[in-house]
A = this chain, B = another copy of it.
Amino acid sequence: MKNTLYKHPDFDNSILKNAPDAATITAKEDAVVPDGYHATSIFPEYIKIGGAWKLIEGSRMDCAVAIRGGVPMAVEHRNIREGDAIVVGREEDGSSGILMYTHGFDAAAQQEDEFAFRASRTRETSYSRDYDSLYEQLRYERDNGSSVWVLGPACTFDFDSRKAMEKLIDNGFVDAVFAGNALATHDLEAAVFKTALGQDIYTQRSVSGGHYHHLDTINMVNQSGSVKAFIEERGIDDGIMAALTRNDIPFVLAGSIRDDGPLPDVIADVYEAQAKMRGIVKKATTVIALATQLHAIATGNMTPSYTVQNGVVRTVNFYAVDVSEFAVNKLRDRGSLSAKSIVTNVQDFLVNLERGLI
């Protein structure tokens, strides 16, 4: 994998050459698209505009395509504005100006045993090579790409894996983190009290009064006004949030209806949170989702199979790690060589990764 070579469509092919411009209809109101609108996939798609085929920018699946300033943009329905020129048409073979192109990475796929990658993953799948290729990939991205990590709260419930994640951040393998209120709260709780939800993260002992710890932590951070201010004021130097802060790595904490508190950094409006996440995902080259269904599926929804990096089209690699086959297989069905899943406890995954990489 690493950076697989993209083979552009053959635009001299007669169908593509002779195709008309894609048809458009003007949106009549905000957040509503005209009948027959085209919806994007995870694959590279080209729209013919003014006689030229143009790659949709910043694509993700299930968007409408609005032509803004002559450029085809993938836009969520809710972000469509009255007056947008919306591409219509559901033929995707190019003949009517819309081309969904699924063969760009075929060469790489063959090399990589596409079949093996696509197979459903279970607890009994052999993962040795996945680990090896992941080590290679993450080293490559450290120098050449952007790795986005999506973290469930369990990543910080255990002493060793929290430490492993911290080291991965300090060693340059993490370019952004997506998580929720719980991951950040319990990571900071561990920094202050050595507990998560009141349980010692090393000894597992339930600490007396421990049920106050996460509330106390949230209250302290609210006094400070932000996670960053809290970490700096209190001199917090261990854990995931501290490592992100000292390395100036962006994180998005998306709100959910489960949240206590929340921390001041949590984004209450989920669509605003989606927008922030998507802004970061557009530049991602590898995404690793650990032990979170909500955030992993949300990120999977907005992650295309490719990105444009310095003008070159390359794959985006998506890894999902969870102890449940059901959870990882939900993410697997992305029709692309770039999605892989591993069925295991993320604690061991992180400890393995740290030992393999650092």
A116 CB–B CB distance under 8 Å: yes
Q: Assess whether B212 is in contact with A90, with CB atoms less than 8 Å apart.
A: yes
A–B pairs, 7, beta carbons within 8 Å: A32-B222, A77-B219, A124-B157, A125-B157, A127-B345, A323-B345, A348-B352
A305 CB–B CB distance under 8 Å: no
CA of A203 to CA of B37 in the docked complex: distance in angstroms?
28
Which chain A residues (191-222) contact chain B, with CB distance < 8 Å? 196, 199-206, 209, 211-212, 215, 218-219, 222
A202-B128, A219-B77, A270-B270 given as contacts; is B123 within 8 A of A345 (CB)? yes
A269 CB–B CB distance under 8 Å: yes
A154 CB–B CB distance under 8 Å: yes
Q: Count of A residues near B, CB < 8 Å?
A: 86
CA of A140 to CA of B256 in the docked complex: distance in angstroms?
33
A29: shortest Cβ distance to chain B, in Å? 8
A68 CB–B CB distance under 8 Å: no
Please give, as numbers and ranges, the residues of chain B lying within 8 Å of A126 by CB-CB distance: 157-159, 196, 199-202, 204, 347
Which of B129, B154, B201 is in CB contact (< 8 Å) with A202? B129
- Per assembly, the copies of the chain total 4
A161: shortest Cβ distance to chain B, in Å? 8
Q: Assess whether A124 is in contact with B201, with CB atoms less than 8 Å apart.
A: no
Q: Assess whether B254 is in contact with A254, with CB atoms less than 8 Å apart.
A: no
A122-B329, A256-B294, A348-B352 given as contacts; is B201 within 8 A of A128 (CB)? yes
A277 CB–B CB distance under 8 Å: yes
> A residues touching B (Cβ–Cβ < 8 Å)?
31-33, 37, 39, 62, 76-78, 90, 113, 115-116, 119-120, 122-129, 131, 153-154, 157-161, 196, 199-206, 209, 211-212, 215, 218-219, 222-223, 254-262, 268-274, 277, 291, 293-295, 297-298, 301, 323-326, 329, 343-345, 347-349, 351-352, 355
Which of B116, B223, B349 is in CB contact (< 8 Å) with A205? B116
Which of B39, B123, B203, B291 is in CB contact (< 8 Å) with A215? B39
The 7 closest A-B pairs by CB, nearest first: A348-B348, A344-B345, A257-B298, A128-B159, A116-B204, A126-B158, A128-B160
Q: Assess whether B205 is in contact with A113, with CB atoms less than 8 Å apart.
A: yes
CA of A31 to CA of B345 in the docked complex: distance in angstroms?
36
